[in-house]
């Protein structure tokens, strides 16, 4: 997984996951953990060449312009085992 923080109306957290996680039956739990970790709604994306713009999105809406912004900085993301661990 990797994450980035973009700017739209306000800050927006985008997390890119492997398609296997995206389509997994446990995705709602992953989304809840991500939102708890970042303490805000999260947009989760995965590559899919058959989808619009080559990605699928779940969670918070994220315009494609945010994802194509060259200033967007991606960082590796590993969720802590303890869900109560703060991200900073």
Residue ranges of domains in the chain: 2-75
Other beta carbons less than 10 A from residue 70's beta carbon: 5
Burial class (CB within 10 angstroms; exposed 0-12, middle 13-18, buried 19+) of 63: middle
Q: Sheet holding 2-7: strands in order across?
A: 55-59, 42-47, 11-16, 2-7, 75-76
Other beta carbons less than 10 A from residue 33's beta carbon: 15
Position 33 confidence tier, pLDDT thresholds 50, 70, 90: very high
pTM flag (> 0.75): yes
The structure tokens 């927006």 sit at 12
Tens of pLDDT, residues 35-62: 999 999 999 999 887 766 778 899 998 8
Question: In the prediction, which pLDDT does 77 show?
Answer: 92
């Amino acid at each position: 997984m990797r994450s980035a923080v973009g700017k739209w109306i306000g800050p927006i957290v985008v997390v890119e996951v492997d398609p296997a996680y995206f389509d997994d039956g446990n995705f709602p739990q992953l989304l809840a953990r991500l939102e708890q970790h970042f303490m805000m709604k999260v947009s989760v994306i995965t590559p899919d060449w058959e989808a619009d713009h080559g990605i699928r999105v779940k969670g918070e809406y994220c315009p494609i312009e945010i994802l194509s912004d060259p200033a967007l900085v991606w960082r590796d993301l590993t969720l802590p085992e303890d869900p109560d661990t703060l991200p900073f």
